[in-house]
Amino acid sequence: MSNPGARSLRGAGKEFMLRTEYGSQPPSDQMLGHPPPPLEVPYTKEKTILSLPAPGDITIPEVDLRDAIKLRESVRNYAAEPLTLAEVAFLLWCTQGVRHIDRVFTLRTVPSAGARHAFETYLLINRVEGVPPGLYRYLALEHRFAEESRDPGIARQVVAGCLNQQHILKSAVTFLWTAVPDRMTWRYGERGYRYLHLDAGHVCQNLYLAASGVGCGVCAIAAFDDAAMNRLLGIDGEEQFLIYVATVGKKP
């Protein structure tokens, strides 16, 4: 039971917690028998598609999990060395890799409430062997890339949208995760918005730990201009919105 006295408190955060409590919401779309939303945002078949090495074909040096956890830290300075496509594929698999596809859910390499996996992964690529710089989207169900933009100014636009955090320019790759809330709220109603933010933490922690296996550092970013970044990604900010960002690059 919630504390009735807490309801007098002000603030959007407190209001969010109160309005997403159990018992304060109508039945979810799943309870009402409505069909689930697609497992992935559709993409235009005319877009340039890049194949990725299959997860089972990628060889990565072994790293002790205890060491990876003990040494985990945010890194903002990166070497000029590019990542290989196999290394990027490995990081994508570790953060959103699909292990099983069902009609209404996917099982992946990270936890998600009800296996809803409501994220899409965009990549700002600065230095990856064999891949032109630009903005790409990871098609997790097919383990492939779709090209979104080759605008030569896209990196500086991302920097501006992330409040001028310059290590984005120095990164080899910057991960930009967007949330598609309908995938989560279909099952959990408004409470699903809580789970989106929990899931973002699961995904980014996997990136931190996986990056240690390919000699990379990571820095998570939650400070960004929401409206500007959503416009840059071509999403509406409601049915899909940016939720988390993280830079990746070889450690100097």
Between CA 178 and CA 240 the distance in angstroms is 6
Residue 50 half-sphere exposure, CB side, CA atoms within 13 Å?
21
Q: Return the beta strands (E) in 140-172 as ranges.
A: 144-149
Closest by alpha carbon to 107, among 117, 93, 95, 118?
A: 117
Q: What is the pLDDT of residue 23?
A: 81
Between CA 35 and CA 107 the distance in angstroms is 19
What is the Cα gyration radius of the chain?
19
Between CA 83 and CA 119 the distance in angstroms is 23
What 3-state class would DSSP assign to 250? Answer: strand
Between CA 70 and CA 67 the distance in angstroms is 5
Residue 93 Ramachandran class (φ > 0 left, ψ -120 to 50 alpha, else beta): alpha
Between CA 232 and CA 229 the distance in angstroms is 5
Q: What is the pLDDT of residue 4?
A: 52
Q: What is the pLDDT of residue 9?
A: 53
The pLDDT averaged over each successive group of 10 residues in the chain (252 residues) is 52 90 88 95 87 92 92 96 97 97 95 97 98 97 95 98 98 98 97 97 97 96 98 97 98 94
Q: Which fold has domain 4-250?
A: NADH Oxidase (3.40.109)
Q: What is the pLDDT of residue 1?
A: 43
Between CA 207 and CA 115 the distance in angstroms is 19
Between CA 145 and CA 137 the distance in angstroms is 6
Q: Domain ranges in the chain?
A: 4-250
> Which residue has tokens 């097919």?
142
